[in-house]
Structure 1
Amino acid sequence: MDPYTPRTRTGARKKNIGLSQKEYTKITGTIASVRRHRHPHDDLEDDIDQRNHVSREGNSRSHNDSSFIAETSFVRAPLNSRVVSTSAAPKPKGKGKQESLDRVPLDIQEALILEDLLFVLMGIEGAYITFHPEYSPEDDDPLQGIRFVVSPSLDSSLSDLVERILPLGTYYTAIFAFVEHRSHLDYGLVNHALCAAIREMLRDYQTLLSQLENAFNTSPSFSLQKLWFYVHPTVHTLSLIYQLILELATADDPGAASSSSSSSDDEDEEEAARNEALGLGGASLKAVLSEINKGDIAGGMPGGSGIAVKGGEVLTIIYERMQNMSGDPTAGAIYGKLLKQAGKPYVAMLRDWVASGRLADPYEELLVKESKFIDRGILEMDYTDEYWERRYTLRDGSISAGSSKRHQAGVPPPRSIGGRLPGGACVPPLLDSWKHKILLAGKYLNVIRECGIEVTRDQTYANEDLSMDDERFYKFIEDAYSHANRTLLQLLLKDQQLIPRLRSLKRYFFLSQSSFLTHLLDLASTELRKSSKSASVVKLQSLLDLALNTDAVGEDALFREDIRVTIAESGLYDFLLKVVTVSGVVKAEEAGGEEELKKEKEEKKPMQAIDAMTFDYNVKFPLSLVISRKTILRYQLLFRFLLHLNHVEQALSSMWAEQKTTPWRCSVPTHPEFVGWRLRVCLLRARMLAFVQQILAFVTFEVLEPNWRALEAKLDKVVTVDQLLRDHVDFLDTCLKESMLTSSKLLKACSKLIVVCQTFAFYSSSFTKSANQAIAAAAETPSADPSKAKRWDVLNKFETNFNHWFQVHLDCVQFYASSDNVSLLPLVVRLNSVKAT
């Protein structure tokens, strides 16, 4: 069939046009000649082009043409390949010089330009509407779209209307290229869903073009004004999509690759642990990472950035555009539909996570991140809260609902343009206030699943289509969080007997009403006097078991096998001072004082087993989430402090018993100086014993017991697992603070005082020996005592040290009691009573 030629209907139409039948025949031949000239059949390249593209001759398709080209990837929809983007196709060859429209009648110009516009709206170059002279398929970014220019010889009355329609071609080619590009697997499910939604809108646009082409071929009254009337609403619609895809395409940060490589010097904690497990050292690890990074860059990572625009970042960009253009109803409808469609896979992953505890996020798009190298096997060997704190985390690094701080390790740097976190680390604004409940709901269910308990999904919302702009979705999250929280809380408190466990911890570590410790110290006195390196842990453990078997009753008898003896590597006060004064330790190391540290290590006396002994507690998953290594360490610090106080009190009491013997009771009237010295020794011992007893009583009855009762009251009313964990840690931190173990000044003064008392008790036998020597000397030579000066010198040193550090300690306690630790006020009264004696 011949190409379409405008035809006349009646005489009235012919009168309006003013052309004879001969002139119409001539025009028909001209248009047919133009069409044949555009697709010559005798050229080989045009024959290949004809086989790969849809023929422009609507009624004369070649028998060998196909409506689909060969698919190169399963991710491209067939409809994407019906018309190949001209950005990837070479310009048609063999086309002659563009004919001028100066002498062509206006209605013929309109007919010619209408035909060109129908091709241009599909991104195909026409005869009189061509690519911009600066357009280059090889150099230009296809996501920017193809710009078209109209022939300058076109009549100005038509040219103005054509210029209004031409942006549709640019929009269509850019959107088509975006859909084709972002449908790749690497861009994730959210981008795939967005591309599917945009493809659906393009299908409506293509349907409109098919109808316009049919009207052009069948209706003589079809005009440029009618074309503009039909496509005018579509211009605004496609412009909105075009602006969105431009923002998505340009959101990739070009500097992210360099920033990520520079930030890789600060090694991520998760990667460090994984690399250590794989045996990769520093140099070899950097080499491997360098090769991987090179491979990623060579592989064509979008924009050269480390993380493509995907997941939550895509939803955030769409939502922000919708909010910024809230005054435009069309924009609200378009962006709202795209947000709902693109968010479907995101919502589906969230629903699966909060309802079953399973994280199915193959492209790392979700706000929750899983560290797979942390599994339950680590907990079986060394129960730790890493499973709770680090296996599942938020990608943006936020750690609690009330804190703006972030874990910098593992959190990608924000985009240089816009400041958004890239990829899944960008939390959609609609979910920002819910992200912590989303994280905890999945974590709770995951712990339950790890215990072998099947998690049943709530079927209330199973068949409902939820979206992020639907209130029912947030009701679903709230219900899932409440269900997971109740289930795990019941598992910990009832099935796992958490509260009885905590009571046994209190009894063993806080030494409250525990006679087993006195029994243990009596049985292991010989072993505890040895150095910490030579003491037998096995023997101490057997003696502990013996002491517990004779003392444990009730609930304590159920958990006595979980307590065991360990020997610490460092002294209590040295360890605490390093913890509270980390900056000083770092500066000492940075100063390069290796010789000083070595000398200090050599001069340091070996530590006795009694100073290094502590208890450890064995607990299995899931109780290890509450009684974690960090909490056990806090219990151990308090235990070692109480044990040291008990040991010094016992030593001073033994010294008091020894001072009731003959050398300290006999009358020596001829030596009043010796009687005075003996009285001063007894008085100093009494002051030291009073000090130690006051500290011990304060810590036990005014710190540990009241705080424990407060914790029990909270445990009776606890409603969330996170609150349970927080209350337990707060209880231990409060006990440490009020026991003066978190302030370097208080700790230093108190430790010096206790060490002075302990050393004084060690000199008990020396004092008795000096007393015996003085009595013997008085019997032989009443006027002379050769050991007098040495005896007084030792006593004066002890008195001077005790008085000095006691005053320093009292001043520190008074200062902190009047500023930030009012719980020390009772201790001020107790210390003043010691001072008065």
Structure 2
Amino acid sequence: MDPHTPRTRHAGRKKSLALSTKEFTKVAGTIASARRSRNLEYGIDDERNGRDPSFIAETSFVKAPLNSRVPSHSYTTPRAHGKGKSREESLESVSLDIQEALILEDLLFVLMGIEGTHITFHPDYSVEDDDPIRGIKFAVSSALGNDYVRFILSELSGNDLPSIDPSLSDLVERILPLATYYTGITSFIEQRSHLEYGLVNHALCASIRDMLKDYQTLLSQLEHAFNTSPQFSLQKLWFYVHPTLHTLSLIYQLTTELASDANVDNLSSLSSDSDDARNEALGLGGAKLKAVLSDLKNPGLDAESNIPVKGGEVLSVIYDRMQNMSGDPAALTLYGSLLRAAGVPYVVMLQEWINSGKLHDPWEELCVKESKSITKGTLDMDYVDEYWDRRYTLRDGSTAGDSKRKTGMPTPRGGSSRLPGGACIPPVLEGWKHKILLAGKYLNVIRECGIGVTANHDTPVFDVDISMEDEKFYKSIEDAYSYANRTLLDMLLRDQQLLPRLRSLKRFFFMAQSFFVTHLLDQAQSELRKSSKTASVLKLQSLLDLALNTDLHGEDTMFREDVKVKMASHGLYDWLLKIISEKGAIGGEIGEGGITDSAHGVDGRRNKDEKPLMALAIDALTLDYQVKFPLSLVISRKTILQYQLMFRFLLHLKHAEQTLSSMWIEQKTSPWRASVQHPEFEKWRLRVFLLRSRMLAFVQQILAFVTFEVLEPNWRNLEVKLEKVTTVDQLLRDHSDFLDTCLKEAMLTSARLLSAYSRMITTCSTFAVYSAKFTASAVKGVAAADDPDGDPEMEKRWDFLYKFEKNFSHWFSKHLDCVQYYASSDNGSLLPLVMRLSSIKAG
């Protein structure tokens, strides 16, 4: 609401404000005679005071109003001359008309923040100690209390306190808050116009300053009326300023609330930001370098302890006041006007972000923030999807996937739940914040690909006429989000051939039964028996290329050059157990069911006295998949790592199946099939066949379960979701959920299941390694069958076999118990595995 200015009620009113020459001389003479009588009573003499007699001060307030504000020695020391009475005591001896004229004269200056003669600073006000944004408090003589109080205060101050007529004093007391409001608002404007308080504060101050121009115009009109109209009185002054008093009180309440939470004394630290901006403009580093170092030191935290009220927080405060005072039409209009004016730079920054993907927010006022230390160059080493998740984020810490989850949320203001600065999102934008974030993120990805961004909707990038109360503003957000999402989704699915890429990934990493894996294991058998440090990666890569060129067909041939051989630095199961023990298993699986693990400890880790074995090449072999930006957002290092875990798991199963199958082929030779008349040896030989058969059945059942009960159904569900996907974030979520589900249902996220399974697969692989030793022992057994003294090594054969049987039976039982427990407590995904394993006799 604009400050009120006096208006004439009828046509004749305007004529009364114009004085004739006679009336003007009468008014001027009355005020001048009061001044002269007061000066004579004070004993003011120009020559005696050492003043240049050639300078004659103009005593007429009408002709020279500021001369009455020039202090003289006699004013500052009223007891130095005259009769020992203060100058204000003359008000008691003058008429009520003269008192009113002098009070009016004072009020016109006090309303501009200038201390008057009879209206001075309140005794409780201190220029040094009080907050200037709280405004200056003024007081008149009647406001100081009764005669006894005035006497005590006069003795303490050394001056006699002024006294005016009570009828005038009561009216003045109603007007004086206007001076406090004006001085407080002016101080707020002067302080918040500094560069470091941001563009929103600047726009707010500019709007308030325009409103104060109307107030100053009102004072000019009142001063003109005072100087020209004999009928102008204190009552008329109150009549004209009364509407403005309400307006300035509303602005004053707003500025006081905005300044209440800010640390306004620490301007030196804030001014350093302006120096950073200047240095950055000169190419000397500055704000961006400081932001990068801040991200490296405290990732995820962007709110300082002394951050001023700026940006979205200012808009939130204005909006809340507008809603709380919606019953007051004047307040609703005023705050609505300030909200529109202050929101212009915020809306402009927002439009630039959602329409071009550029974030120009030098003072951190917008709800979106950028971590400058994270670039697309980090994607080659990004195992936590940091580029997509943390390059651009919301300052309030909420995430698009889960609005309840908070990451790096700054500390709220003391005594309230309001976040500081740009982290405070205006309430009208709370439901749109995720679309605002994603629209700019999508366009930024497109820009990073070197593709020009051109909005296809009617909203211009910089439309200052659009406010946050306009429906067109929210339609522009929806249009920008739809355009950015559709453009990036089409680019990923069509231009970058995402679906064929994912299908090739599935075949390369998940198809353990595919020909190229079998071909690779057969050709690289000798190399895979070596340790991981001595095996030749170049030779394995050439063998992989040969297998891919031989066995791949169709669209998979387009991506075979992206598959590379890689040697992992850690064993699969030890690495998974370490990750689970540090970060916890999914669903709180550790410690449930009371299942113990004596070999690996309670949490599945190795005992301290157990030395790590030298990893073979087959245990460290994995595949890598290389993609370029922007496909690396979907097929990121994190997702490739999950593909690698599943590939190594299936490769170990496939290798164990091959070795046990080779052992079966070897056991079809003559030493194992020869007819001997030795019941003990026959029994031993059958027990070896049975143990090998049970191990092979176990490996095949696990492999079949993972392949046909886990991977294939989940992949079909993913294909259905990808055909219906509508947003890029949904695409990323579906792909990530697919991998997480596959790892969980394949028993790679539970310490108990993984510990029991790793011991089982180690026992099977070790048994297959001793195939030659079992064959040599069988040859000796056949030869000793005809010896009348019997077979002296038969007992050793049984002891050796008993160790494998006991180990396998123990861990098989342990593994089956774990599977049954989780199948009953989980979602039932392990029930098919329970049926498969139950068919294998524990023996």
Q: TM-score range by the shorter chain?
A: 0.7 to 0.9
| Amino acid in structure 2 at the alignment position of 1:626 | V
Residue type of the partner of 1:629?
Answer: R
Report if the CA contact (8 A) 2:512-2:651 is conserved.
Answer: no
1:566 is paired with a residue whose SS is strand
SS at match of 1:822: coil
Report what 2:654 is aligned to. Answer: 646
CA distance change for structure 1 residues 92 and 347 in 2, over 3 Å: closer, same or farther? farther
CA, structure 1 residues 523+405, in 2 after alignment: closer, same or farther (shift >3 Å)? same
Provide the rounded CA distance (Å) in 2 between the counterparts of 1:573 and 1:26.
Answer: 104
Q: CA deviation at 1:584?
A: 8.3
Q: 1:28 aligns with which of 32, 38, 58?
A: 32
Distance in 2, Cα, partners of 1:517 & 1:56: 108
The 2-side partners of 1:797 and 1:378 are apart by: 50
Report which stretch shifted further, 413-422 or 637-646. 413-422
User: What does residue 746 of structure 1 align with?
Assistant: 753
User: Does the alignment pair 1:238 with 2:238?
Assistant: no
Q: Which amino acid aligns with 1:531?
A: S
Which string of whole-angstrom CA distances, capped at 9 and with x for unpartnered residues, describes residues 575-611 of structure 1? 111222216899xxxxxx9xxx999598211011101
For 1:554 and 1:333, the matched residues in 2 are separated by 68
SS of equivalent residue, structure 1 residue 550? helix
- Distance change (3 Å), C-alpha of 1:464 and 1:238: closer
Which secondary structure does the structure 2 equivalent of 1:775 belong to? Answer: helix
Residue among 174, 189, 210 paired with 1:164: 174
Contact 1:274–1:373 under 8 Å retained in 2:
no
CA apart distance, 1:794? 1.6
User: Where does residue 510 of structure 1 map in the other structure?
Assistant: 510
Q: 1:513 to 1:758 in 2, by over 3 A?
A: closer
Matching of residue 612 in structure 1 with residue 620 in structure 2: yes
What amino acid is the match of 1:29?
Answer: S
Cα distance change of structure 1 residues 119 and 351 upon mapping to structure 2, 3 Å threshold: same
Q: Equivalent residue for 1:422?
A: 420
TM normalised by structure 1 equals 0.83
Q: Deviations over 1:262-287 (max 9, x none)?
A: xxxxxxxxxxx999998x999xx89x
Q: 1:105 aligns with which of 95, 110, 114?
A: 95
CA deviation profile, 1:316-343 (whole Å, cap 9, x unmatched): 1111122222222222111111111111
Contact 2:200 2:346 in 1 (8 A): yes
Work out the CA distance in 2 between the residues paired with 1:380 and 1:804.
Answer: 43
Conserved? CA contact 1:98–1:127, under 8 Å: no
Q: In structure 1, what is the equivalent of residue 432 of structure 2? A: 434
Question: Residues of 1 paired with 2:124 and 2:344: CA distance?
Answer: 41
Question: Offset of 1:564 from its aligned partner?
Answer: 0.3
> SS where residue 393 of structure 1 aligns?
strand
Q: How many residues align?
A: 744
Q: Is the 8 A contact 1:256 1:305 kept in 2?
A: no
C-alpha offsets along residues 401-449 of structure 1, whole Å, 9 cap, x if unaligned? 53312112xx432222323221111111111111111000000000011
2:354 equivalent to 1:348: no
- Specify the alignment match of 1:785 in structure 2: 791
Cross-structure match for 1:52: none
CA distance in 1: counterparts of 2:210 and 2:445, whole angstroms: 42
Distance 1:614 1:693 in 2: 21
Q: Verify: 1:121 aligned to 2:111, yes or no.
A: yes
What is residue 306 of structure 1 aligned with on the other side?
306
Report what 2:451 is aligned to. Answer: 453
| C-alpha displacement of 1:167 | 0.3
Q: Does 1:571 align with 2:581?
A: no
Contact 2:371–2:390 (Cα < 8 Å) also in 1: yes
TM-fit CA distance, 1:821 = 3.0
1:142 to 132, 149, 161: 132
State how far apart, in whole Å, the 2-side matches of 1:505 and 1:321 are.
56
In structure 1, how many angstroms separate the alpha carbons of the residues matched to 2:831 and 2:48? 102
Deviation at 1:731, TM superposition (A): 0.6
Q: In structure 1, the residue corresponding to 2:825 is in which secondary structure?
A: coil
Secondary structure of the corresponding residue to residue 396 of structure 1: coil
After TM superposition, the score normalised by the length of structure 2 is: 0.82
Cα deviation code 1:108-151 (max 9, x no counterpart)? 21111111111111111111111112333223221111000012
- In the alignment, what sits opposite 1:489? 489
Structure 1, residues 716-763: CA drift from partner, whole Å, max 9, x if none?
Answer: 111100000000001111111111111111111111111111111111
- Letter of the 1:575 counterpart: W
> What does residue range 655-734 of structure 1 map to in structure 2 within 5 Å?
655-669=663-677, 671-734=678-741
Contact 2:496 2:631 (8 Å CA) reproduced: yes
Q: Is the alpha carbon distance of 1:483 and 1:628 closer, same or farther for their aligned partners in structure 2, counting shifts above 3 Å?
A: same
Q: Provide closer, same or farther for how the CA distance between residues 26 and 482 of structure 1 changes in structure 2, counting only shifts above 3 A.
A: closer
Matched with 1:758 is 765
Partner of 2:17: none
Does the CA contact (< 8 Å) of 2:383 and 2:641 recur in 1? no
Kindly report which structure 2 residues correspond to 1:77-96, keeping only aligned pairs within 5 A, or say none.
Answer: 94=76, 96=78
SS at structure 1 position matched to 2:552 = coil
Distance 2:392 2:72 in 1: 50
Counterpart of 1:688 in 2: which secondary structure? helix
Measured against aligned partners, the alpha-carbon deviations of 1:795-817 in whole angstroms (never above 9, x if no partner) come to 11111111121112112111211
Aligned to 1:402: 402
Cα 1:623–1:90 shift into 2, 3 Å: farther
Partner of 1:72 in structure 2?
none
Q: Give distance in 2, aligned partners of 1:747 and 1:377.
A: 35
Does the Cα contact within 8 Å between 2:382 and 2:636 map onto a contact in 1? Answer: no
Superposed counterparts of 1:180-329, under 5 Å: 180-252=190-262, 305-329=305-329
What residue in structure 2 maps to residue 66 of structure 1?
A: none
- Measure the CA separation in 1 of the matches of 2:134 and 2:805: 86
Structure 2: 5+ residue stretches without partners = 1-24, 53-58, 79-85, 143-162, 271-287, 591-600
**CA displacement at 1:570 relative to structure 2:** 0.9
Contact 1:520 1:544 in 2 (8 A): yes
Give the corresponding residue for 2:521. 521
Q: Is it true that 1:820 corresponds to 2:826 in the alignment?
A: yes
Assess if the C-alpha contact under 8 Å between 2:295 and 2:373 holds in 1. no
Match of 1:131 in 2: 121
Residue from 147, 151, 167 that aligns with 2:141: 151
Deviations 1:197-227 (A, max 9, x none): 1101111111111111111111111111111
Cα deviation, 1:517-556, whole Å, max 9, x if unaligned, reads 1111111111110111111112211111111111222111
Aligned equivalents of 2:577 and 2:136: distance in 1? 69
Secondary structure in 2 aligned to 1:615? strand
* Distance in 1 between residues matched to 2:421 and 2:51, nearest whole Å: 44
Whole-Å separation in 2 of the counterparts to 1:633 and 1:791: 43
Q: Which of the pair has the greater relative contact order for Cα pairs under 8 Å at 6+ separation?
A: 2
5+ residue gaps, structure 1, are: 1-20, 48-54, 64-82, 261-272, 294-300, 587-592
Contact 1:46 1:92 in 2 (8 A): no
Q: Secondary structure at the match of 2:120?
A: strand
Distance 1:798 1:62, change over 3 A: same
Contact residue 384 and residue 625 of structure 1 kept, 8 A? no
2:276 paired residue number: none
Are the equivalent residues in 1 in contact too, given 2:133–2:259 (CA < 8 A)? Answer: yes
The residue type paired with residue 371 of structure 1 is S
Match of 1:374 in 2: 374
C-alpha change, 1:381 and 1:751, in structure 2 (3 Å) is closer
Partners of 1:92 and 1:707 in 2: how far apart?
Answer: 96
Distance 1:43 1:191 in 2: 54
For residue 336 of structure 1, what is the aligned residue in structure 2?
A: 336
CA distance in 2: counterparts of 1:244 and 1:834, whole angstroms: 78
Q: In the alignment, is the contact (CA less than 8 A) between 1:188 and 1:310 conserved in 2? A: yes
Q: Say if 2:571 and 2:615, in contact at 8 Å, map to a contact too.
A: yes
The equivalent residue for 2:811 is 805
Counterpart of 2:518, as a letter, is T
How far apart, CA to CA, are the structure 1 residues paired with 2:488 and 2:625? 22
In the superposition, relative to structure 1, how do residues 360 and 718 fare at CA in structure 2: closer, same or farther (>3 Å)? same
Kindly provide the amino acid, as one letter, of the partner of residue 833 in structure 1: S
Matched position secondary structure for 1:581: helix
For the residues of structure 2 that align with 1:604 and 1:517, how far apart are their CA atoms?
28
**Using a 3 Å threshold, how does the CA distance of structure 1 residues 398 and 134 change in structure 2: closer, same or farther?**
same
